[in-house]
Amino acid sequence: MFVEKVKAPGKEIVLVGTAHVSRESVELVKKTVESEKPDVIGIELDMARLQQLKSGKKWQETDLGQIIREGKTYLFLINILLANLQRQIGDDLGVKPGSEMLQAVEIAEEKKIPIILLDRDVKITLKRALDKTGVREKLKLGYSILSGFFGWGEKLDDLTIESLKEKDTLNALMQKLGEEMPSVKSVLVDERDIFIANAILKSPGKKIVAVVGAGHLEGIKRFLDKRRDVRELMLVEKRKSRLRYLKFLVPALFIAIIGYGFYSKGIDVALNIFIIWFLVNGILSALGAAIARAHPLSILAAFIAAPFTSLHPAFAAGWFAGLVELKMRSPKVKDFEELPALNGLRQFTRNRVSRILIVTAFANIGSTIGTIIALPYIATLLA
């Protein structure tokens, strides 16, 4: 943990670099605010994460149906996984993640010092990160998060604990991922450095104590020379990818195969092609839902929907399976309350909220695999 003073035109900036799971960071924040007596206190949070820290997040207000229909299942799952990964580390260290940020808020409220939120909306950050990555990087990111989350079964050793106290845990994780996934790091670390630095320079008053993750310190200092236009960093634009054409190529190829089979081989061959397509897509999508321990009707929904949604760019089999799961096993308040404390795959598939998301994701994955297998196979039937 560090405290650094930086001069900027018309402003005195005191940067407090903390580890989000360090008890010493909490004390450091308190001592710095009391000794520096700032005009304003800035914290590396957005409104959503501040509310989550203060209230434990009102998960029961989450509209799961809307998340499924808008295709935000993977985004929400990643958010839960990252929050749980950091929480697990915090359990080993004996301190709640983000405690130093809450300490800054409490001191500010006690001393009636204005508070400003320095960070970008977490939903924009995650969306930009996902949109900037290709399929290969998405798979690496998913594997890294899942292996990290499900690998924290044992207590951390003393050496690991001490190293975690020296830096911002989440940013340390992302920095490591950035070595293999530069587009992820550019969004989760570099862009936020610019955004936070700009928010500090825009803050009211002459003196500000800014509480930020230690992993951001060097990056933030680089951008404290002048204010920048950060409007572009708030935009969410999907990276153009050739893969988007597959949404239209798959139905076009299927129709062409069916049409050619009917005119050249007869109705029996065309019907056989459709049956194979239906069974392969349906069975693999249903299998994905079953692996996620879906309700039997959700599995049936995946089986029926997959052959048709694979041919429609605007729909996905997992949406139907997830919505049926939501209907058949509506989450209770305790399911939402348990989200921040889930440990391991078994608990994720038992909790009604996370199970709905996993059912949606696995049914989609199964349908995609089914398409990859079925399309070239039915093409060989025309030879």
- pTM of the shown model: 0.63
Write down the pLDDT at residue 23. 66
Q: Which residue has the higher pLDDT, 145 or 220?
A: 220
Partners of 207 in the beta sheet? 12
pLDDT per residue over 18-30, tens digit each? 865 566 777 888 8
Is there a contact between 324 and 363 (Cβ–Cβ < 8 Å)?
no
pLDDT per residue over 172-229, tens digit each? 555 555 666 677 778 888 899 999 999 999 999 899 999 988 778 888 999 998 889 9
CA gap 224, 195 in Å, rounded: 10
CA gap 228, 223 in Å, rounded: 9
Kindly tell me if the per-residue pLDDT of 239 is higher than 60.
no
Write down the pLDDT at residue 96. 60
CA gap 145, 137 in Å, rounded: 12
Domain-by-domain residue ranges, the chain? 2-239, 243-380
Instruction: Report, as an integer, the average pLDDT of 313-329.
Output: 88
Kindly tell me if the per-residue pLDDT of 373 is higher than 90.
yes
Write down the pLDDT at residue 303. 96
pLDDT per residue over 336-358, tens digit each? 766 666 666 677 778 888 888 88
φ, ψ dihedrals at 213, nearest 5°: -65, 140
User: Residues 169-206, buried b or exposed e (16+ Cβ, 10 A)?
Assistant: bbbbbbeebbeebebbbebbbbbbbbbbbbbbbebeee
Write down the pLDDT at residue 161. 46
Kindly tell me if the per-residue pLDDT of 156 is higher than 50.
no
Hey, what amino acid is at 347? Q
Mean of pLDDT over the chain? 78
Write down the pLDDT at residue 287. 95
Helical packing angle, 296-309 and 352-380, nearest 10°: 40
DSSP track, 18-48: E-TT-HHHHHHHHHHHHHH--SEEEES--HH
Write down the pLDDT at residue 17. 84
> Within the chain, where are the H helices?
23-36, 47-55, 64-69, 73-93, 99-111, 122-132, 135-150, 158-164, 169-180, 182-185, 192-202, 217-222, 246-265, 267-291, 296-309, 317-328, 333-338, 344-350, 352-380
Write down the pLDDT at residue 154. 47
Helix, coil or strand: residue 195:
helix
Confidence of residue 266 (pLDDT cuts 50, 70, 90): confident
Write down the pLDDT at residue 286. 96
Kindly tell me if the per-residue pLDDT of 53 is higher than 60.
yes
